[in-house]
Amino acid sequence: MALVEDFPRPMACAACAVAPSAAQIAALVPPARLMLSLPSAHCAACIATVEAAMLACPGVQSARVNLTQKRVSVEAVATVTAQDLVAALAAVGFEAHELDPGLLSSTETDRQGRELLMRLGVAFFSMMNIMLMSVAVWSGAEAATRDLFHWISAMIAIPTVIFVGQPFFRSAWASLRVGRLGMDVPISLALILATSISLYETAYSGERAYFDAAVMLSFFLLLGRYLDHRSRALARSAAEELAALEVPRATLLVDGVEVVRPIAEVARGDLVLVRPGGRMPVDGVVVAGASEVDRGLLTGESLPVFAGPGTQVAAGEVNLTGPLTLRVTAAGRDSSLHQMADLVAVAELARTRYTTLAERAARVYSPLVHILSFSAFGYWMWATGGDLRFAVNVSAAVLIITCPCALGLAVPAVVTAASGKLFRRGVLIKTGTALERLAEVDTVVFDKTGTLTMGTPELVAADYPAAALAVAVALARGSSHPLAQALGRLDVVAADVTDLREVPGYGIEGRLDGAVVRLGRAEWVGAVAVPVTATYLMAGGTTQAFAFTDQLRPGAEAAIAALRAQGKAIKLVSGDAEAVVAGVARRLGISDWVSGALPAEKLALVRGLSDQGHRVLMVGDGLNDT
Candidate list 228, 270, 283, 447, residue with the active-site label = 447
Residue 34 makes CB contacts below 8 A (sequence gap 6+) with 73, 74, 75, 76, 80, 82, 85, 98
Q: What angle do CA 505, 510, 513 make, to 5 degrees?
A: 160
Of 109, 117, 217, the residue nearest 168 (C-alpha): 217
Nearest to 279 by CA among 265, 267, 264, 291: 291
CA distances from 552 to 38, 264, 300, 454 (A): 45, 43, 16, 6
| Displacement of CA 12 from its chain's centroid (Å) | 27
Angle at 279 between CA 281 and CA 287, to 5 degrees: 65
Q: State the virtual CA torsion across 205, 209, 212, 217 in degrees, nearest 10.
A: -150
C-alpha separations of 385 from 371, 391, 396 in Å: 21, 10, 19
CA distance to 18, 605, 613, per residue, from 14 (Å):
8, 12, 22
CA distance 280 to 273: 9
Amino acid letter, 374 = F
Quick one: how many helices (H) and strands (E) in the chain?
21, 23
The answer for 505, left when phi > 0, alpha when psi is -120 to 50, beta otherwise, is left
How many residues are given for the chain?
Answer: 626
* Cα 534 to Cα 208: distance, rounded to the nearest angstrom: 83
CB-CB contact of 185 with 175 (8 Å): yes
Helix (H, G, I), strand (E, B) or coil at 591: coil
Q: Are 510 and 500 in contact (CB under 8 A)?
A: yes
The Cα diameter of the chain in Å comes to 115
| Contact status, residue 359 vs residue 180, Cβ threshold 8 Å | no
Task: Give me the torsion for CA of 396, 400, 401, 404, rounded to 10°.
Answer: 140
Q: Count the neighbouring beta carbons within 10 Å of the beta carbon of residue 465.
A: 13
Q: Is 59 left (phi over 0), alpha (psi -120 to 50) or beta?
A: left
- CA–CA separation, 196 and 193 (whole Å): 5
Verify whether residue 447 is a known catalytic residue: yes
Please tell me the distance from the alpha carbon of residue 201 to that of residue 205, in angstroms, as a whole number.
6
Half-sphere exposure of 145 (CA within 13 A, CB side): 10
Do 517 and 510 meet the contact criterion of CB atoms below 8 Å apart?
A: yes
Of the candidates 265, 311, 314, the residue with the CA atom closest to the CA atom of residue 289: 311
Helix (H, G, I), strand (E, B) or coil at 481: coil
Residues with a catalytic annotation lie at 447
